[in-house]
Amino acid sequence: MKANHLAVVFSAKGLPQNTVQACGAVWAETSRLLLPGLGKVYDRFHPAAQPWGVDIPASFSVVLGRDDPCLFLRLYLRAREFRGSSIDFHVGSTLMETGFEKLQAAGDILICPVTLDGTNKRLEGHILWHTAMASGVILPDCGVYYAERKRSTVEPGLEKLIESCPADYALCMVTLEEED
């Protein structure tokens, strides 16, 4: 069994003022977002009581930035670190499979053309991961998912806004499990 943690980030706008009710609402929305991937991208999901060794004492592993900004930021930043590590892994693995000599510059963007003909399953897996991330699919190793944007990556301005105003956000920590 392989397990990864995921922080699903929500705006706190419109959440009930009652903490228990707010946590229930965030968990319900998180479950709704995760159900389409169940059995396809991951085999099960559940609230993450101790993601990355951090205890979450709240219901459904929901952290409201207004209630505990320090815990919110600790988990949010850790989730972004994890996402960065996953991106580095998949980019590095893609380049190792294709060869650095195939990199081409197009302005300030690097392009690495590949042929997916079924002969290199490792390369195919990494390319499909990149495609799924770009399409907003919730992947077990995406680290963080912005519910309102329906994607794992957002512009740095939004990330900075969340960091500077944690009271305006909530996150739900989830463990996604895959059979080996």
Q: Is the pLDDT of residue 9 over 90?
A: yes
Which of these ranges, 17-31, 65-79, 88-102, has the smallest mean pLDDT?
A: 88-102
pLDDT value of residue 56: 93
Determine the average pLDDT of the residues in 13-23.
96
pLDDT value of residue 92: 86
Pairing of strands 2-11, 169-178: antiparallel
Determine the average pLDDT of the residues in 29-44.
95
Instruction: Report which secondary-structure segment, H or E, holds 9.
Output: strand 2-11
For 41, phi then psi, to 5°, come to -105, -30
Determine the average pLDDT of the residues in 46-53.
93
Q: What is the pLDDT of residues 56-87, one digit of tens each?
A: 988 899 999 999 999 999 999 999 999 999 98
Q: What is the spatial distance between Cα 29 and Cα 48, in angstroms, rounded to a whole number? A: 16
Pairwise pLDDT comparison (61 vs 88), residue with the higher score: 61
